[in-house]
Amino acid sequence: MNPRNMLPRGAAAVLLALAVGVSATPAHASAPGPAGLRQVVDSLTGPDGAPGALAQVHDRQGRLTATGGVADVRTNTPVDPRSRFRIGSLTKPFVATVVLQLAGEGRIELDAPVERYLPGVVRGADNDGRRMTVRQLLQHTSGLPDVLDHMSPLEVLDDPLRHWEARELVDIALPHPREFEPGKGWGYSNTNYLLAGMIIESATGRPYGEEIRRRVIRPLGLHDTFVPADAPGIPGPHPRGYVRPQAALVDITRLNPTVGGAAGGMISSASDLNRFLAAVLQGRLLRPAQLREMLTARPTGRTSGSEYGLGLEWTPVENSSICKDGFWGHDGDMLGFSVRAGATAHGRQATVMVNLNPGGGPALDSAMRAALPDALCGT
């Protein structure tokens, strides 16, 4: 069976965020035990790591949470296992889910040109708004340049409460050369999902965040999940978010999330991300035809051997009986936070989060790459 196209049954996920201690509801014997999960968290904190980290493993048998480091470097407050945090590009699976729901309702055609829904927005050589499709946006095969390649983090740090319009961000990216012809390559671009959010609004007449709340957050009871628009704070228990532009940490917790928008502006928690990923892969949010579209993936060219569907990425894992078919998930980076989330086809869920981004350095980058597969696929 090709894991890119299968419909997983009983998917689950694991979350790594920021806090201190190990707690558990009854955990399945195959899940990483307290010592193993503690090792994952310890690898993310310390002198060369983030101020804090949290790991949560969840499957049908229970939930195990490990936390380490601190939520606030001034007060040394431990991270609450219930913490909420900015999820960055993990917003993209939520946006893709809504677009696919609208496709199932006949309100969006995946292979229709972007121009149909956003007339005149995607300009450039050869009328590329007429040549690239909605599907290519969701799968990062449009060739559009990434807006983040043409913005400096310092620009946001200088005015973190500034409001950004999606069209404004798109217009920063579009004057730059295309990476490739639409459909002729793969290249991750936040510009794609800013446009996808605009397409949701064009098709429904409502803000993309309202559609996510109506179609995903409320039906699943995701009480820790928000599309915050301009609200700069993180409601409820949360760690401080930090960047390290030079030697010292800078607190960037209060941030206007419109700078991420439909590409990365949401807030959630470990338990909510677990529930969301499980619901997607179990077919609770999408019809079978649309779930097949989401999980039909193409190679990314990354050294991990991963393949990207519509808003979810499949990653192979060697020498793991738990992840023998790999896992589906997504990365999420936003100023102050770095998150990784994944789900297996056999009933386990995972997400990884630290409260430092960017500026962690090579050691933390390496630890983050290993943390999700270790938590999700370890024994």
Active site amino acids: 89
**Cα(325)–Cα(285) distance, rounded to whole angstroms?**
22
Beta strands in 25-103 (DSSP E): 52-59, 62-69, 84-86
**Cα(171)–Cα(150) distance, rounded to whole angstroms?**
11
Alpha helices in 262-359 (DSSP H): 270-281, 288-295
Read off φ and ψ for residue 81, nearest 5 degrees: -60, -20
Q: Which long-range contacts (CB under 8 A, 24 or more apart) does 107-115 make?
A: 107/203, 107/204, 108/134, 108/199, 108/203, 109/134, 110/134, 110/135, 110/138, 110/293, 110/310, 111/135, 114/195, 114/199
Residue 14 β-bridge partners: 57, 350
Which residue, chain included where needed, has tokens 């590329």? Answer: 128
Cα dihedral 50→51→57→62 (10° resolution): 180
Given its phi and psi angles, is residue 361 left (phi above 0), alpha (psi -120 to 50 degrees) or beta?
left
Q: What tokens does 172 get? A: 């920063």
**Cα(379)–Cα(364) distance, rounded to whole angstroms?**
23
Q: What tokens does 368 get? A: 């983050």
**Cα(377)–Cα(358) distance, rounded to whole angstroms?**
26
CB-count exposure of residue 318 (10 Å: 0-12, 13-18, 19+):
exposed
